[in-house]
Amino acid sequence: MEKTANQRAWFLVLPVLLLVAFSSVIPMMTVVNYSFQDSFGGNEFFWVGLEWYRELLRSERLWDALGRQLMFSSIILLIEIPLGILVALCMPKKGWLASLCLVLMALPLLIPYNVVGTIWQVFARSDIGLLGRFVTDLGFEYNYAQNAADAWVTVVAMDVWHWTSLVALLCYAGLRSIPDAYYQAAEIDQASRWSVFRHIELPKMRGVLIIAVLLRFMDSFMIYTEPFVLTGGGPGNATTFLSIDLVKMALGQFDLGPAAAFSLMYFLVILLISYVFYTVMIASDKEEAQS
Amino acid sequence: MASITLENLAHSYRPNPQGDSDFALKEVNLKWDDGHAYALLGPSGCGKTTLLNIMSGLLEPTRGRVLFGDQDVTAASTAERNIAQVFQFPVVYDTMTVRDNLAFPLRNRGMEQAYIAERVDRIAQMIGLEGILGKKAQGMTADLKQKISLGRGMVRDDVNAILFDEPLTVIDPHLKWELRTQLKSLHREFGHTMVYVTHDQTEALTFADKVVVMHEGKVLQIGTPQELFEKPAHSFVGYFIGSPGMNFLPVTIQGCTASVHGESVELGQDYGQPDGELALGIRPEFVRLTKDKGLPIRINRIQDAGRHKFVNTRVFDTEFNIVVDANQEINADMTNIVLDPDKISVFHNDWRVEGRSAN
């Protein structure tokens, strides 16, 4: 049978196109529109071209927020990934204890973001919070509302508490898929515990680890609710990450133009990093298939 | 190298085994002679792998002892036993090259670099891996991975025995034959004691000098392939070995004559007047179709398998298979069968009994 080009097929994708258009493309285009204009209220807009972009790229505010954001994502990745692997390795392999562990691990993941923020806001308070009081009683000067370093430690601890179990659960799934024969063969080969981890467990977890890193990176890069509830971006701007800064600009100061330019650049950065991740993943998959 | 003796071995996967049914392995006494190739044959779940894992030390038996030579190794770790084991699914270390895979057991034992290099080269040559030593083990075909796995076992020059746990399950059919032949020649050349677990009788019979048939946690018979075929010690062996398996007919026996539903069958030996449950067993290959003599049959179907024809029949109420040459014509008037008296086995409560010479 000869293939004929059937243009009517386009009608079949039309509903999806419409849906996507109304849910993301058109709203985003309004943001694009704002980013080239200035408004003084009263629904009056003036064309300013690339002015907002130029201004933002020159402003320290954006670069500082981006720096804090990158630092935050790096720190939590450096803690959560190894910690998650460690937890997964220590979890029982079967029986009721394994089920109990899985449920306990899943609990933090089920708590709404703003509740997580509230929990930690109270938990870490140095006057009445269980953790804050305890640390203060130990003789440490600790107050996340006034000291920038304390605020950072608290925000990082909160994220580790909230998300390490995701990494652990992913790794646990990866570990469970390793057949017993691997461990038995390693025993016969007299492999050390480190060798078993390095040559059996880690390679088998590779796939889930890539996913874990990607998920945790993207998610932490867009973090808003928990630090907003906990510190509100302070003290000063110490924990003002990109999205907190963006909301301040758009809703706090009602600078629609700069905020629109900001969000577009934010979007592009995330897109760029996702693309890099994606390419690296695909490349290493190909390498795996070829070798 | 040494012989391996299993004494009163029993194993249960339950913490407090009570009855017989709790045991995956019931009372096994076996001796594996040094330098022989054995096959451990039995259906799935009969305890073959359990037995193998006890020998390699991956499992500690609930009861009994394992001896290497005269030395009791029941409590010894896998590493101390110097056993190599090849598993059903090929185990290779993906991130390492083939060379590193082969060197791994030696490096873990702290051998010298020069010795390791020499050993790895030699083993690679023996198994036919010398061309791919530098490649990563990841993504290789199952048969290559299985070879690497075998090589990791053979690379140690002090291995007492090499144990195979259904090693050809995931190998393509046309490569199975080649690998099995290679295993045999490696065995002939280096004389390792080899124990090969399988549920495939062709694999077992072609690989081993001696075959151990297991069923429900027990060893039923140890013998050469020929012994298993001609003189199965237990009706299960008769049924399990051969394709189709042995035919059984419930009988009563009086001296040299067996009686099947009133029809008499001549036996090659004198069995006296035994009591209990008696059955006559004969291989499908030793039955002849006739027109009037012998036991009456009804033919259900005939399958042409090229060199042979499989004739499925009923003798009274019992299913009965016959194998005849492909060029033999089967006519509608062939309503009887004659059994070769010398090839008939008699089973008393499922165990084969020997009669006295008829004269």
Q: CB-CB: which of B77, B138, B152 is closest to A189?
A: B152
State whether B269 and B155 are in the same domain. Answer: no
> Within an 8 Å CB–CB cutoff, is residue B76 touching chain A?
no
Contact across the interface for A185 and B91, Cβ inside 8 Å: yes
Pair B24, B40 in one domain: yes
Q: Are residues B288 and B192 in the same domain?
A: no
**What does the pLDDT average to over A179-183?**
88
Q: Does A287 touch chain B (CB under 8 A)?
A: no
B111 in contact with chain A, both atoms CB, cutoff 8 A: no
The DSSP annotation for B171-234 comes to: S-HHHHHHHHHHHHHHHHHH--EEEEEES-HHHHHHH-SEEEEEETTEEEEEE-HHHHHHS-SB
Domain closes at, from B181, B211, B238: B238
Interchain contact, B79 vs A187, CB within 8 Å? yes
| Mean pLDDT, residues A199-210 | 87
CB contact under 8 A, A291 and B95: no
Residue B87 with chain A: CB contacts under 8 Å: 181, 184-185
Cβ of A290 under 8 Å from any chain B Cβ?
A: yes
Which residues of chain B neighbour A286 with C-beta distances below 8 Å? none
Pairing of strands B336-339, B269-270: unpaired
Residue A288 — very low, low, confident or very high, per pLDDT cuts 50/70/90? Answer: low
Q: Residue A94 above 70 pLDDT?
A: yes
Q: For residues B38 and B148, state if they share a domain.
A: yes
Alpha-carbon torsion, ordered B73, B75, B81, B87, to 10 deg: 120
Q: Which two tokens stand for residue A231?
A: 């510190």
pLDDT in the model for residue A161: 93
Identify whether residues B151 and B182 lie together within a single domain: yes
**What is the structure's pLDDT at A289?**
55
A81: pLDDT strictly greater than 90:
yes
Q: Which of A187, A199, A291 sits opposite B93 (nearest CB)?
A: A199
Cα-based distances in Å from B45 to B109, B123, B245 = 35, 34, 20
- Does B250 share its domain with B183? no
CB A93 within 8 A of CB A173: no
Q: How far is B313 from chain A (nearest CA, A)?
A: 45
What one-character-per-residue DSSP string does B11-36 give?
EESSSS--SGGGEEEEEEEEEE-TT-
ipTM of the predicted structure? 0.76
My answer on whether B160 and B93 are in the same domain is yes
Q: Which has the closest alpha carbon to B322: B309, B335, B336, B333?
A: B309
Q: Minimal Cα–Cα distance from B321 to chain A, Å?
A: 40
Collapsing DSSP states into helix, strand and coil, what is residue A68?
helix
Tokens of B138: 């990841």
Selected residue with higher pLDDT from B102 and A61: B102
Average pLDDT over residues A171-175: 92
Q: State the smallest CA–CA distance between residue B169 and chain A in angstroms.
A: 14
The domain made up of A60-290 has a fold known as MetI-like fold (1.10.3720)
The verdict on B280 and B229 lying in the same domain is no
Please give, rounded to a whole number of angstroms, the shortest distance from the CA of B138 to a CA of chain A.
6
Domains held by chain B: number? 2
Given CB atoms, is B345 within the 8 Å cutoff of chain A? no
Q: What CATH number corresponds to the domain at position B349?
A: 2.40.50.140
Residue A95 is predicted with a pLDDT of 82
**pTM for the complete prediction?**
0.76
* CATH code, domain carrying B228: 3.40.50.300
- CA-based angle B111:B82:B60, to the nearest 5? 135
Q: Which residues contact A116 (CB under 8 A, 6 or more apart)?
A: A108, A158, A162, A225, A226, A229
Answer yes or no: do B85 and A195 touch at CB < 8 A.
no
The Cα–Cα gap between B228 and B206 comes to 13
Q: Are B139 and B121 in contact (CB under 8 A)?
A: no
Q: What count of other Cβ atoms lies within 10 Å of the Cβ of residue A97? A: 11
Q: Which of residues 144-203 of A touch B (CB under 8 A)?
A: 179, 181-182, 184-185, 187-192, 195, 199-200, 202-203
CA-wise closest residue to B82 among B64, B98, B69, B101: B69
Q: Give the confidence band of A41 by pLDDT, cuts at 50, 70, 90.
A: low
- Cβ atoms B127, B182 nearer than 8 A: yes
Contacts with B83 from chain A: Cβ below 8 Å: 188
Percent of chain A clearing pLDDT 70 (strictly above): 96
Q: Average pLDDT per run of 10 along chain B, which is 359 residues long?
A: 80 80 82 87 85 86 85 82 86 88 88 88 85 84 87 84 86 83 83 86 85 88 88 89 87 85 84 84 88 85 87 88 85 84 87 77
Contact state of A184 with B58 under an 8 Å Cβ cutoff: yes
* CB within 8 Å: A291 and B105: no
Instruction: Classify residue B276 as left (phi > 0), alpha (psi -120 to 50) or beta.
Output: left
Domain residue spans of chain A? 60-290
pLDDT surpassing 80 at residue A254? no
- Of B213, B238, B263, the one marking the end of a domain is B238
Strands of the B247-250 sheet, one edge to the other = B247-250, B278-282, B345-348, B351-353
User: Do B284 and B187 belong to one domain?
Assistant: no
pLDDT at A157: 92
The range of the structural domain enclosing residue B293 comes to 243-357
Residues 6+ apart with CB under 8 A from B39: B195, B196, B197, B198, B203, B204, B205, B207, B208, B210, B211, B212
My answer on whether B190 and B318 are in the same domain is no
Query: A 194-213 residues with CB below 8 A of B?
Result: 195, 199-200, 202-204
Residues in A touching B58 (Cβ below 8 Å): 184, 187-188
**Do B348 and B281 share a domain, yes or no?**
yes
H or E segment to which residue B112 belongs? none
* Last-in-domain residue among B195, B214, B238: B238
Do B293 and B149 belong to one domain? no
Chain A residues in contact with B79 by the CB 8 A cut-off are 187-188, 190
Query: Does the pLDDT at position A273 exceed 90?
Result: no
Q: Which residues of B touch A284 (CB under 8 A)?
A: none
Residue B81 to residues A167, A257, B40, B158, B195, Cα–Cα distance (Å) = 39, 76, 20, 10, 15
Q: State the pLDDT confidence band at A76, using cuts at 50, 70 and 90.
A: very high
**What is the average pLDDT value for chain A, to the nearest integer?**
85
List of chain B residues whose C-beta atoms are within 8 Å of the C-beta of residue A199: 93-96, 104
Which residues are bridge partners to B39 per DSSP?
A: B196, B211
